[in-house]
Structure 1
Amino acid sequence: MPSLANPGYQERNTKGIFALFCVGSYLLSVSYGTTFLLAMSLSAHGASEADAGSIMSAAMFSTFIAVIFSGHLTDLFGAPKTIAFGAVLLAAACAGFACFPTFGLAALGFGLLLGLGWGVFYTLGPIIVAMMIEPARRVKYFALLSGCMMSGIGTGPLLGRASEAFGYPLRAAFVMAAMASVIGGVAFVLLGPKIKQLHLVSGAVTVCRISPQAGALVMRSKAAFAIVMVGLGGAIFGGLSSFQTSYAHLKQLDYSIFFLGFMAAVITCRLLVAGFIVKRDPYRMAGILTSLIVTSVLMFMFTVDTAATYLFAAIVLGVGYGLTYSVINGLAANEAPAGYNAQSLVLFSLAYFVGVFGFPWLAGLIIVSQGMGALLSVILLIALLNWAIALGRLVWRRLPRSQARRFDPV
């Protein structure tokens, strides 16, 4: 039997295990993607966009719990089994959305389950990659993981469109997502012993437990800018994606066009372009890419009226959002205080969850009270603020050192 000490065998073994890991990650991500169908599903049963936003805000709170305690669960059960437990929660949430399509306490409970499951997976997935892959090759494998997750997220709403096309009710998409989560959970259970073997070869990886003191230290550093930016970017993504079905209905367009264009752009950029972008000046790249997000929001407001313009706006958003995330993720790690990179990345994830799960609550209220146009105006303001932070950092860096020091975080 070949030994793990053999580099050639070890690399082939790692690739095979990582391939199954990517399949499992894709299957779990489908469940989160189906949440973009909640607004349409609830509307069909007398609820509103505000109710869909409330469910997403419930997911935000439980996600915090999952992120904070995932390290303790990993110590007790191991990362793969903890993710498998998260898969069960995701399956239960999707099954609940399928069986109870009306708004109420049950729906809020399923939102809590969704946040717990997704928070555990989103936090521990990269840690498992670090357990399997040596540091020199991790950037490539992180990009592959991100591409698989975005593929799964994009598949969720497309399942809804396919269900409608074949004459099935929308709840069929939630049922399929629940089944995908169960299969994905089984994959992680099977991967557990193999990942543990690779972990012994690749070296120790610690799971971060963040404290208030560590969080305060990170937020007083330059990494705070990237953390704020990912929260704003998450709000833009969450606001547009969670209510894209309502937007498409208003424009009499097919919402699947948005998800196809957006996800194809994000996946392509992260897999093929991100490796080049992250080697460039991150401040300049952030300024350029956030301007694309502003441009895309303006397109959704003023130019989208055909399938072609709808697709183009989605692609521009996907390029800007997909690459901005990669750039500021690197800044969050590189600009953290010495020895606090992991804590900075945990805060980065938490800020993302605040935006992607928390903002839809406000977005739903805005749609109900003021309409879709008002929501797009608010999203434009958020995008402009994000762009202003990126440009401000670029200008700040060009100031003479004595002037820039006045505004430097402590």
Structure 2
Amino acid sequence: MSKFLTLAFYFFATFLQAGTYGLTFLLPLLFREFGANEKDVGNVLMATTIATLVTIYFLGHVTAMLGRVNTIGLASIIIAVSLFLFGYLSVIGPMHYLAGIFLGIGWAMFYVLTPVVLTEITKKSERIRIFTLLSIFIMAGFGLSPVLGNYLVKAGYAINITFTISSVLCLISGITFIGLRRALTTLSHGDSVNDDSGLNWTSIKAVLCSRAARPIIMVGLGASVFAAVTNFQTIYAQQNGLDYANYFLAYTATVIVCRFLFAEFIGGRSPYGTITLLLAVMLTSVLCFIFFTDSSLLYVLGAVLFGIGYGVSYPIVKAMAANDSEPELMSKTMQIFGFSYFIGVFGFPFIAGWIITTKGMILLLVAAAGMSALECILAARRYFRDRWLDSMKQSGK
């Protein structure tokens, strides 16, 4: 199988499985159907967070036994079980927490290993482009699954049917990944770390003391902003008489179009400068959600700006984590990058749920604006530091 065809099937399988995360945006609506609230959503996602972090920590040992691609296939089965449980259960209880744990285990395997597998078959110079394409298909998957849920509800179906459909798609995804094992092995250039290298405290310290620490911190902040804005977007839309499907369609379309347009050129010669500008756009979008709450047009504009800001900056930050890491720490760096990301996307909703139920949605968005500003400052400092170092080299000092 050619490299192009292998990547095409790889991205297709990624798209099918990525819808899983998009369904977490529908959990507030699903839980409200049986009397639960945003705090319950946050509690379940905290169980997801803990399961995710534990899984990432031991992931190296799992891949040593099964191999990376087989582990991704296993993740598909675990996620399918999780989604089936969410769709089947109708009363909040221990089984919801079990579903959350399965979601954390499966998504951790999928999220961490899919880019690592790609690093094995791509050169360093290709990674921003390849990671951008990977993120396009992930974005398409989890951006369109809430839209599917919205359309099914409008068509008269219960919202839980969306979870059942997605569980079947995850199984198809797993079969596709397993079918690509031989092609991926053939294309591997063998420059990445071996499967038997799991995380330990020494390796964690080494990664956090490297240049990759900054993008690792930045992705945690950005993921928290994303969770604050997107995970409870259904509640925000209901409170302000808006249609959340418009947000997800505008955000998803913007991210896909921008990432396709800039896949070859994104980041440029000053990636942290590009990131800084994009994060400023993200901050602007959050401010739109705070101050313009009753206009459908401005609601869509906020979604578009968020798609440009967060959606386009994310793959560059991810690529910088890979490029800033030491070659022998590549796999570990991506695992710790996953740690930071998951603390934001699954852990922050625990805090967000408390803020919404006790203080209101606007305070949550104010917190998101503060985190956006902090991430922007981190990127700007790295950009100006790199420029200063370049000028020193050119001057011969």
The match for 1:127 is: 116
Partner of residue 10, structure 2: 21
Residue of structure 2 equivalent to 1:112: 101
Q: Matches of 1:214 and 1:203 in 2, distance apart?
A: 21
Provide the rounded CA distance (Å) in 1 between the counterparts of 2:389 and 2:58: 44
Asked whether the 8 Å contact 1:217–1:337 carries over to 2, the reply is no
Q: Structure 1 residue 283: deviation in Å? A: 2.9
How far the C-alpha of 1:97 sits from its partner, in A, is 0.5
CA distance in 1, matches of 2:118, 2:323: 19
Which of these residues, 202, 221, 230, is aligned with residue 210 of structure 2?
221
What letter is aligned with 2:341? Y
| Equivalent AA in structure 2 for residue 121 of structure 1 | F
CA distance in structure 2 between the aligned counterparts of 1:293 and 1:344, rounded to whole angstroms = 25
Residue aligning to 1:85: 74
Work out whether residues 274 and 323 of structure 1, in 8 Å CA contact, stay in contact via their aligned partners in 2.
Answer: no
Helix, strand or coil at the partner of 1:18 = helix
Which runs of 5 or more structure 1 residues have no equivalent in the other structure?
A: 1-9, 402-410
Query: Aligned pair in 2 of structure 1 residues 381, 185: CA closer, same or farther (>3 Å)?
Result: same
Kindly tell me: are residues 219 and 137 of structure 1, through their superposed partners in 2, closer, same or farther at Cα, counting changes over 3 Å? closer
Question: Residue by residue, what CA displacement relative to the aligned partner does 1:166-192 show, whole Å, maximum 9, x if unpaired?
Answer: 110000111111111111112122222
Residue 271 (str. 1) matches residue 271 (str. 2): no
1:376 is aligned, of 345, 365, 372, to 365
The aligned residue for residue 343 of structure 1 is 332
CA–CA separation in structure 1 for the residues paired with 2:388 and 2:178: 53
Look up the equivalent residue of 1:255 and give its one-letter code: Y
Q: Which moved more, 1:300-309 or 1:41-50?
A: 300-309
Q: Give the corresponding residue for 2:342.
A: 353
For residue 238 of structure 1, report the CA deviation from its aligned partner. 1.2
Give 1:232's aligned amino acid.
L
Structure 1 partner of 2:291: 302
Count of matched residue pairs: 388
1:292 aligns with 2:281: yes
Change (3 A) 1:188 1:332: closer
TM-score scaled by length of structure 2: 0.91
Corresponding position of 1:102: 91
- TM-fit CA distance, 1:272: 2.0
Pair 1:211-2:200 in alignment: yes
**Aligned counterpart for 1:192 among listed residues 176, 181, 204:** 181
Residue 171 of structure 2 is aligned to residue 182 of structure 1 = yes
Q: Say whether 1:166 aligns with 2:155.
A: yes
Using the TM superposition, give the Cα deviation of residue 139 of structure 1 relative to its aligned residue in structure 2, in angstroms.
Answer: 4.2
Determine if contact 2:136/2:260 at 8 Å carries over to the other structure: yes
Amino acid at match of 1:281: S
- Coordinate RMSD, CA, aligned: 2.2
Indicate the residue corresponding to 1:252 in structure 2.
241
Question: After superposition, where does 1:377-392 map in structure 2 within 5 Å?
Answer: 377-392=366-381
Residue type of the alignment partner of 2:225? I
Matched, 1:36 2:31: no
Q: TM-score, normalised by structure 1?
A: 0.88
- Structure 2: any 5+ residue segments left out of the alignment? 391-397
Cα deviation, residue 84, structure 1: 1.3
**1:322 deviation in Å?**
1.9
2:318 counterpart of 1:319 = no
Query: In 2, Cα distance between the equivalents of 1:397 and 1:30?
Result: 37
C-alpha offsets along residues 80-99 of structure 1, whole Å, 9 cap, x if unaligned?
22111111111111110111
Q: Is the 8 A contact 2:108 2:338 kept in 1?
A: no
Deviations along 1:265-315, one digit per CA (max 9) or x if unpaired, are 222222321432322312322221111111001000012422221111011
Q: 1:363 is matched with which residue: 352, 373, 391?
A: 352
Question: Which string of whole-angstrom CA distances, capped at 9 and with x for unpartnered residues, describes residues 63-120 of structure 1?
Answer: 1122223322222222222111111111111110111143221111100100111110
